[in-house]
Structure 1
Amino acid sequence: MLGIGTIAKKVFGTPNDRKVKASRPLVDKINALEPEFQALTDEGLRDKTEAFKKRVAEGESLDDILPEAFANCREGARRALGLRAFDMQLLGGIFLHEGNIAEMKTGEGKTLVATFPAYLNALSGKGVHVVTVNDYLAKRDAEWMSKVYGFLGLTTGVVHPGQGDADKRAAYRCDITYATNNELGFDYLRDNMKSELSDLYQREHNFAIVDEVDSILIDEARTPLIISGPSQDRSELYTAIDALIPALDEDGYTVDEKQRSVTFTEEGNEKLEELLHNAGLLEEGQTLYDPESTTIVHHVNQGLRAHKLFIRDQHYIVRNGEVVLVDEFTGRMMSGRRLSEGLHQAIEAKEGATIQPENVTLAQVTFQNYFRLYNKLGGMTGTAMTEADEFEEIYSLGVVEVPTNRPIARIDDDDAIYRTAREKYEAIVEELKVAHAKGQPALVGTTSIEKSELLSQMLSAAELPHNVLNARHHEQEAQIVADAGKLGAITIATNMAGRGTDIQLGGNVDMKVMEALAASPDANPDELRKQIEAEHAEEKQKVLDAGGLFVLATERHESRRIDNQLRGRSGRQGDPGRSSFFLSLEDDLMRIFGSERLDKVLSGLGMKEGEAIVHPWVNKSLERAQAKVEGRNFDMRKNVLKFDDVMNDQRKLVFSQRREIMEAEEIAEIAQDMRYEVIQDLVTEHMPPKTYADQWDTEGLQEACREKLGIDVPVTDWAAEEGVDDEAVTERLETASDEAMARKAAAFGVDTMRVIEKQILLQSIDAKWREHLLTLEHLRSVVGFRGYAQRDPLNEYKNEAFTLFESMLNSLREEVTTTLSRVRPLTEEERQAQVQALQDRMTRQQAAVDEAYHRAEGDSVPAAAAEDALPGFDENNPETWGNPGRNSLCPCGSGKKFKHCHGAIT
């Protein structure tokens, strides 16, 4: 019997169906315009772009010109690339423009889909950012799609690491800019550390289209982007602590795999204290609970995490003596990315690698808060529906599933569960033998480098030819993916999220042509392509007859999205295909979520060695377990975001104030307001309201004015006058400080003073913000313990962070005022002294260069004046010569080396 919900869906359709249906008329309008735009010349299409820009500038909305703009872009893409967009691609473009996530299956042409909303939104002249997951895709997509934008009269830029400042600024000023999420976030932080408007990279955050949106906005959202600088070297401490961890037995700590945390037990703490005392890291009588032990406790905890939670070749690899992190979602190496708070150093100590100095945070932002800066956001991916709630709650992004251009013909098998990992892997090898024998290409998904290499060894032992795609073989990625659809090919992939290269049945024609041209440079490219296309069509037919691409997953991932991404590699554009998941009770997900109970059930059923349980109910229960993990991970990310939101409000305020200061012609008024507030605070401190004159500390106020305002005023005499109160003193101090600053401005010159004020204010803001970030980090690490006192850690953090921010602003005002009061022009004598010191330094440097040159030539150094002789030097009395080195100048003042003069051996 059908449920009410199922009947309602049949009658009314799902919300997704209704969204798709509502957008169909727009697609019909675009299609109706197609003949009109096909009739235009190339120049006519470009003229349309200029006409659209003019209409938008005059107030017409982008929604009004959408059908015409999309029709123009479709025709431009057809002429520039030879690709005519399907209706479903137009539909995806409409959803992106509306600020949604378009869920489109692999192979549906998402790269082309992005051109439609990018072109439309670029007409406003405010810029569009297209965000990709790696630099290769950013460059590839920009190069490919710039042909469309350029054909239509728009400019395209690409941002990548290592780019020159001028090139990067030019890329951001293009109509459409391709970049990775990392580079966009870091450039935002870099911009907010600059002091000149002309040095800024980014314009306003108008519209961003995020490719692989689930990977960027969810998987990577937990890791903040941090710009940091080096702090003191503590490598000896890391090494010393690392040597103690292996001495702890399993009773000394507990590991929680669900929460990915590890903590010391009571026994572990006692053992650790003993080890730390013996190693001299804890003083006698000091315990781990003492406030003085905070740093040691922090480093010991990080050492334990490094040993028990971070596994080599799974979470990181060691390459050329360097610990390189591996992205758990894509299997790629993250060169340059380091774990914070000393954890990376702890892993380096564990692996015996060179320990890099720990860094202090100069600026930071999470992807969540960076992407919420945009006025409008859109995203594309093959898998977003399972995280629709998170996208809606965090980013206000709806998720719309775009129907496929052709029906999906892939067969999805039920999961097969084995009792042990050994049985599972043996069954996988047998399954791959069958597929290889009939010529069916197979893509095998694993969750770690270690497991992919274990499976590779088993396939080699079974004499099955295969390729391995993981962080170790990162360089050959495009080639391996291009070959994965060839007849009988077996490809083991650590993860297939965001690879950016479709697996084409029969292999990739373009790759084959490039290889053939490299082998025979003199061959005719057109003839070669025709020959390869004919061979490819034949091979593709054989692959289709064999059943298309076979996706075999060796484990369920924590997230259903990652499983769906792997499964979605098969059955693109209506091709046949098949997907199977092979699991065992020893897999991480099964082990963490109730495998003991299942093991008893399977034992009771009398399962034999090598047998598997296969049933739709098992799939459902596994998906429920995955949904629980996803829910828990969402809660964790939401909690991280709540804390980061507190800092984000403060960050936005500081960065906007910085921007205002940079844009202001002069900031004398801001400096004056700060000075007045400092004066107010000083007067309140030394002459509290509602107190008598004999209770005032006028001498202290007079001294504070000299110290912080740079003015020497008779506050004591003022206070002795009849009828003078704190307000009168405040006014007189403000007047005196204004007169002092006016004299200073006259001495420097108005223009110079303007620059000085701006630079001092910006430098002070940056320094105070850095200190504040460090304080918030420390607060964040300890505030969780307030929960034991029945106090909400988040509220505690909010309250204390607000108090700290107020304190930072007060100290900022004081620092700017004090620094400005002390700055003064150099006197003529000081200027001359500086010039003389510079000349002396240059003379010494030149003398050192000359000496080094003559030493290299084996020559004596040119003679110096005799007056340079050592005072009291007597050539007949060696005791008066001092103790010169053999290569030093002789103390007699000849200018020769000692060994060639009085020190010569006779």
Structure 2
Amino acid sequence: MFARLVRSIFGSANDRALKRHQSRIAAIQAWEPKLAALSDEELRGKTADFRARLAQGATLDDLLEEAFATVREASRRCLGLRHFDVQMIGGMVLHEGKIAEMKTGEGKTLVATLPVYLNALPAKGVHVVTVNDYLATRDSDWMGQLYGFLGLTTGVIVNGLSDDQRRAAYACDITYGTNNEFGFDYLRDNMKYRLDEMVQRPFAYAIVDEVDSILVDEARTPLIISGPTDDTSDLYRRVDKVMAEFVKDPERFEKDEKQRTVNMTEKGGEDIERLLAEAGELSEGNLYDAVNVTLVHHVNQSLRAHVLFKRDVEYVVRNDKIIIIDEFTGRMMDGRRYSDGLHQALEAKEDVTVQPENQTLASITFQNYFRLYPKLSGMTGTAATEADEFAEIYKLEVVEVPTNVPVARKDEDDEVYRTAMEKYEAVIRLVGECRARNQPCLVGTTSIEKSELISELLKKANIPHNVLNARYHEQEAGIVAQAGRPGAVTIATNMAGRGTDIKLGGNADMLAKAEVGNNDSPEYEVALARHMAEVEAAQPIVKAAGGLFVIGTERHESRRIDNQLRGRSGRQGDPGGSRFFLSLEDDLMRIFGSDRMGGMLTKLGLKEGEAIVHPWINKALEKAQKKVEARNFDTRKNLLKYDDVMNDQRREVYAQRRAYMEAADLSETVEDMRRETIHDMVHRAIPENAYAEQWDLEGLEKRVRDVLGLDLPVQAWGKEEGIDEVQVRERIEAAADQAAAAKAANLGPDFMRMVEKSLLLQLFDQVWKEHLLSLDHLRQGIGLRAYGQRDPLNEYKREAFALFNNMLEELRERVTSLLLRLEFAPDAPPPEPQPVRVTDMRHPAPGNGMGGDYEMADAAPAAPYGAATAEAARPAAVDANDPTTWGATPRNAPCPCGSGKKYKHCHGRA
């Protein structure tokens, strides 16, 4: 009550922020007549003037009013668009590093030009992040005219560019691109071997378009770059044959739709062992014996594929591939793959080519990637529902910017039916009514399966319509743009076509482009004029009919998705309406609603074909959605807590790796590694306060010979009177230093420096890759620690830290051993680091906050990662076919036979 009283007196935080920004509008308007009097050349010269003032000590805030007014004038001249005052407020919110919530149709693309121009003046680079390549290309071409007019350069990052093209795009003042491309470029840059091969500049400022989609919906999904592992595709097919028989009996498993999990019952466990044994897959022990751990993994993933994943809902089969459907937009995500063997299980289930699994080489979540930017802001039509998450995870405040014209859309209460078919019949009736009065309607669905069901019902009713589900973005935009024509009926899976406004009467520009194709030709101008006349004639018809009517066929788990659908109607003060239809069979009602609701409604006299409409129903549904959103937020927070552990290590590794690349001379680093390796060897053999008879000098002598390649009489030293650990270590160090100096003198100092840097970077990558695999394995099983009354997160932190220290120790030992044992011919070139051939770029989305569900894949041909490294790092004196020449290879080092496997997994297994 007290908070309500304070708000009534002082206004909300949002009101106060808007009032503060509103006070600067007059100053911006005061510049308008002065700038309008300038010539194009003089207006363009303002950019050089601003940069000169910044160099003299002015701040961006000092320039804001004049810079915003300059952009407004330039936009009016080259785009024919003048920023509204509310758009100026949105630009100020973005410049402050906050999230601007602006309704659909308020011109967010144009709003971004204000802070982008201002923040591009220091020439450090501004990134504008979009959700797909189409929008990135469209916005860079469209707004690039404005930036070019003002003397700034614009680049765009899309899939398929070469490194040189990417480097040029990042060097521009403003760079447009997708969240995936920016993230993968960051990971790839930190796998390069020379600074001049990197494409990105240091981060400065980013504006994230559709910020809720990228930083919330996609936050669960770490970007992962992978390389190949052993191929087990045939095992997936064999297990799938067994699973197809197993799932015929529903008593063999239990499915939890709320948690998206499936587990075998006791009966199922017995049956699967019998079926696997009959198929010849289970040859020894029971299914859960250690020898069958791989088989258990394949069985579990195959069970998930058969029970939890439905064709044409979560994925489609197209061109011998499983293509995932985005649950939020309904688009096909070609190239994205489920992780942890799930995609392979689906490929086996649908009898398409099973692609090999991959191993992580580098990864980062969007949460941690975007927190790398010193200044971050975002814009969307729906952010207020997730304001707590933006504040807690990203330290971003949400400011709701008012519309330029008050919203005239009428949002009607939901209608609830008993069965889904009754609901769909009501939807078809309403569509028919809208079409009869020439009112366009947009029908929103939650899956391809349901959109096709409604399409069939509309066909039976002889109602012409367009269906939007999982097509290319350009086609989506074209169809959505025409969804406002009189009597048009469009079915959209969730909110496909985001970024394109539905204009009442239609979109003349897109109609002309669809007809002619080239907007530079004379034919285009003729077609445009004709279609503009058609649109102008259609607009009053549509407005008189009530504007665009949005029909939701189901409530989504997230209120934002429902709001995005509603937001397509009523843009810029246009008339419009919306209504959602639900049934007790809908997923949200069935899984999260009250079990007693159906019985209660029946007792109240709800008959077949009748609907219940009441504001209380809306409130109950909103509570259910809030519960789901809170659970998803907890999942993302949980994922972030685990990823923060890896993120600290990743930042340390990438910073150290960059320091190695920048250094001209790494001889001191190599020397320190050599001394630490020797110290560790001696300390293990001669523990502190141990008696001389407890020393393991025989083992130490063998380790010195195997690791350092030195034949020293360590055992004889132990017989000397008064010798201690320090003296033993100093003698070994002196011998190792002498051997290193002799090698450097033989090869020449410059050549030796190149060898040291080359091998150090390659071995660093190798141990980091192995460390990531160890962390993956640790994370998969860490949740079980809770059964022992131990906090899994604390256990993960402790063990991850120990693994990191082991990684550094392994690196020191490998660098020391290889540099002391390497032999080169006098005229041999130094080993060049081999770039990693990436086979997979993943983007997994976890169902439980611990792992991942889907990934981004690249079809690049693969060479086994580590094969080139093992070849380059192998001493010349070692014969791959003669194990007696290998010495004592470290267990985690590549096997000298050249297989690319670790020694402990190859010849070192014995």
TM-score, reference length from structure 1:
0.89
SS of match in other structure, 1:613:
coil
- Report what 2:146 is aligned to: 148
Kindly provide the amino acid, as one letter, of the partner of residue 34 in structure 1: E
Within 5 Å, which residues of 2 pair with 1:41-60? 41-60=39-58
- Report what 1:513 is aligned to: 512
Kindly indicate whether the alpha-carbon contact (under 8 Å) linking 2:312 and 2:448 is maintained by their aligned counterparts in 1: yes
| 1:565 CA displacement | 0.2
1:171 equivalent in alignment to 2:169: yes
- Report what 1:226 is aligned to: 224
Kindly indicate whether the alpha-carbon contact (under 8 Å) linking 2:134 and 2:473 is maintained by their aligned counterparts in 1: no
| 1:111 CA displacement | 0.5
The whole-number CA distance in structure 1 between the counterparts of 2:520 and 2:403 is: 40
- Go from structure 1 to structure 2 and tell me whether the alpha carbon gap of 1:4 and 1:413 turns closer, same or farther (over 3 Å shift): farther
Choose the corresponding residue for 1:126, options 124, 127, 137. 124
SS of match in other structure, 1:263:
strand
- Report what 2:643 is aligned to: 644
| 1:528 CA displacement | 4.7
SS of match in other structure, 2:23:
helix
- Report what 2:711 is aligned to: 712
- Report what 1:257 is aligned to: 257
- Structure 2 regions of 5+ residues with no counterpart? 831-910
1:310 equivalent in alignment to 2:319: no
| 1:275 CA displacement | 1.6
- Report what 1:279 is aligned to: 279
Residues 768-777 or 290-299, more deviating: 290-299
> How many percent of aligned residue pairs carry the same amino acid?
61
SS of match in other structure, 2:359:
strand
1:591 equivalent in alignment to 2:590: yes
| 1:119 CA displacement | 1.1
The whole-number CA distance in structure 2 between the counterparts of 1:431 and 1:778 is: 53
Relative contact order, CA 8 A, sep 6+: which one is greater? 2
Deviations 1:257-309 (A, max 9, x none): 1111111122211211222222222224x123322232222211111111111
Kindly indicate whether the alpha-carbon contact (under 8 Å) linking 2:361 and 2:769 is maintained by their aligned counterparts in 1: yes
SS of match in other structure, 1:471:
coil
The whole-number CA distance in structure 1 between the counterparts of 2:522 and 2:380 is: 40
Deviations 1:143-199 (A, max 9, x none): 111111111111111011110111111101111100100111111111111101010
- Report what 1:460 is aligned to: 459
Kindly provide the amino acid, as one letter, of the partner of residue 91 in structure 1: I
The whole-number CA distance in structure 2 between the counterparts of 1:208 and 1:521 is: 33
Kindly provide the amino acid, as one letter, of the partner of residue 317 in structure 1: V
Kindly provide the amino acid, as one letter, of the partner of residue 25 in structure 2: V
- Report what 2:347 is aligned to: 348
1:329 equivalent in alignment to 2:320: no
| 1:747 CA displacement | 2.1
The whole-number CA distance in structure 1 between the counterparts of 2:333 and 2:101 is: 27
- Go from structure 1 to structure 2 and tell me whether the alpha carbon gap of 1:406 and 1:450 turns closer, same or farther (over 3 Å shift): same
SS of match in other structure, 2:336:
coil
- Go from structure 1 to structure 2 and tell me whether the alpha carbon gap of 1:510 and 1:440 turns closer, same or farther (over 3 Å shift): same
Deviations 1:328-347 (A, max 9, x none): 11111111111111000000
The whole-number CA distance in structure 2 between the counterparts of 1:551 and 1:184 is: 35
- Go from structure 1 to structure 2 and tell me whether the alpha carbon gap of 1:522 and 1:325 turns closer, same or farther (over 3 Å shift): closer
Deviations 1:643-692 (A, max 9, x none): 11111111111111111111111111111111110011111122223234
The whole-number CA distance in structure 2 between the counterparts of 1:98 and 1:429 is: 47
- Report what 2:654 is aligned to: 655
| 1:625 CA displacement | 0.5
Kindly provide the amino acid, as one letter, of the partner of residue 12 in structure 1: F
How many residue pairs get matched? 828
Kindly provide the amino acid, as one letter, of the partner of residue 506 in structure 2: G
1:266 equivalent in alignment to 2:275: no
SS of match in other structure, 2:596:
helix
- Go from structure 1 to structure 2 and tell me whether the alpha carbon gap of 1:293 and 1:16 turns closer, same or farther (over 3 Å shift): same
Kindly provide the amino acid, as one letter, of the partner of residue 132 in structure 2: N
The whole-number CA distance in structure 1 between the counterparts of 2:444 and 2:595 is: 25
Residues 4-13 or 430-439, more deviating: 4-13
- Structure 1 regions of 5+ residues with no counterpart? 832-906
- Report what 1:728 is aligned to: 727
SS of match in other structure, 1:763:
helix
- Go from structure 1 to structure 2 and tell me whether the alpha carbon gap of 1:188 and 1:498 turns closer, same or farther (over 3 Å shift): farther
The whole-number CA distance in structure 1 between the counterparts of 2:227 and 2:434 is: 53
- Go from structure 1 to structure 2 and tell me whether the alpha carbon gap of 1:618 and 1:247 turns closer, same or farther (over 3 Å shift): same
Kindly provide the amino acid, as one letter, of the partner of residue 450 in structure 1: E
Deviations 1:422-480 (A, max 9, x none): 11111111100010011101000000000000000110110100000001576621221
Deviations 1:518-537 (A, max 9, x none): 59998565555444323311
- Report what 2:190 is aligned to: 192
Kindly indicate whether the alpha-carbon contact (under 8 Å) linking 2:390 and 2:396 is maintained by their aligned counterparts in 1: yes
The whole-number CA distance in structure 1 between the counterparts of 2:644 and 2:543 is: 52
- Go from structure 1 to structure 2 and tell me whether the alpha carbon gap of 1:772 and 1:429 turns closer, same or farther (over 3 Å shift): same
The whole-number CA distance in structure 2 between the counterparts of 1:515 and 1:452 is: 25
Choose the corresponding residue for 2:73, options 62, 72, 75. 75
Deviations 1:596-622 (A, max 9, x none): 311112111222221110111110110
Q: Which has the higher Rg, Structure 1 or Structure 2?
A: 1
Choose the corresponding residue for 1:94, options 92, 95, 99. 92
- Go from structure 1 to structure 2 and tell me whether the alpha carbon gap of 1:152 and 1:519 turns closer, same or farther (over 3 Å shift): closer
TM-score, reference length from structure 2:
0.88
SS of match in other structure, 1:614:
coil
- Go from structure 1 to structure 2 and tell me whether the alpha carbon gap of 1:112 and 1:715 turns closer, same or farther (over 3 Å shift): same
Kindly provide the amino acid, as one letter, of the partner of residue 158 in structure 1: V
1:739 equivalent in alignment to 2:738: yes
What's the RMSD between the two structures over aligned residues? Answer: 2.0
| 1:723 CA displacement | 4.5
- Report what 1:22 is aligned to: 20
Residues 516-525 or 312-321, more deviating: 516-525
- Go from structure 1 to structure 2 and tell me whether the alpha carbon gap of 1:519 and 1:32 turns closer, same or farther (over 3 Å shift): closer
SS of match in other structure, 1:378:
strand
The whole-number CA distance in structure 1 between the counterparts of 2:611 and 2:688 is: 84
The whole-number CA distance in structure 2 between the counterparts of 1:640 and 1:25 is: 42
Deviations 1:833-853 (A, max 9, x none): xxxxxxxxxxxxxxxxxxxxx
Kindly provide the amino acid, as one letter, of the partner of residue 247 in structure 1: E
Moved over 6 A (4+): 519-522, 828-831
The whole-number CA distance in structure 2 between the counterparts of 1:49 and 1:718 is: 75
- Report what 2:774 is aligned to: 775
The whole-number CA distance in structure 2 between the counterparts of 1:405 and 1:579 is: 21
Kindly indicate whether the alpha-carbon contact (under 8 Å) linking 1:497 and 1:565 is maintained by their aligned counterparts in 2: no
1:437 equivalent in alignment to 2:436: yes
